[in-house]
Chains A and B, each alone.
Chain A
Amino acid sequence: DTGVSQNPRHKITKRGQNVTFRCDPISEHNRLYWYRQTLGQGPEFLTYFQNEAQLEKSRLLSDRFSAERPKGSFSTLEIQRTEQGDSAMYLCASSLGVRGEKLFFGSGTQLSVL
């Protein structure tokens, strides 16, 4: 297993368009997280899944954002009606879910909204 995989690496879109990102976690990991990182800031938590169940969502996750993990494996993050303020690096991470265990991060999807 080569780690957490995210696609695409880069996405450029026009304001108002919808975009979808995909994350493939490490196969035996039951927890999957989405974070957002803007320039000069640390990653900010968006949401996380335990298997297929979405257990927590940050207040940063507006109604335009939706995340799914339909079979408890890969996950998608969709942003509808994108705004320029959505431009950021979207990071996915996975873990086994043991307290204090490290998260394994993907390389991220860089979104630019023009």
Chain B
Amino acid sequence: GNSVTQMEGPVTLSEEAFLTINCTYTATGYPSLFWYVQYPGEGLQLLLKATKADDKGSNKGFEATYRKETTSFHLEKGSVQVSDSAVYFCALSEGSGGGADGLTFGKGTHLIIQP
């Protein structure tokens, strides 16, 4: 079945540091890949996505590149801010398993940015 593995947290960084959150996946076909973010007290919201190999998703200074050869979708940001503190979820959608266009999530990585 499908699965997503992401680095465990919490990840604690200082403001303006470089961020990488690793994500690897297992899928039987050709999934779409997503990063969702959950800010304190709020619902999940899409941060970025990529639907095919070598695509790069980007939003709010965050980037992730769909790497089929390494089955990875690592999240990066060059300079984090305190407001980026949240839980980040890597997810995939393949049209089966989690419902057509439903999502299989990783366990989440709690990011803490200190001023």
User: Measuring CB to CB, which residues of chain A are less than 8 angstroms from any residue of chain B?
Assistant: 4, 31, 33, 40-45, 47-48, 50, 55-56, 91, 93, 95, 97-103, 105-108
Contact = CB atoms under 8 A, between A and B. Distances in A.
A48 B102 CA distance: 8
Contacts, number: 71
A103 B43 contact: no
A103 B49 CA distance: 11
The DSSP consensus for interface residues of chain B is loop
Nearest to B90: A42
Interface of B: 4, 32, 34, 36, 42-46, 49, 51, 89, 91, 93, 95, 97-108
B101 A45 contact: no
Contacts of A45: 97-99, 102-104
Contacts of A98: 101
A42 to B, nearest CB: 3
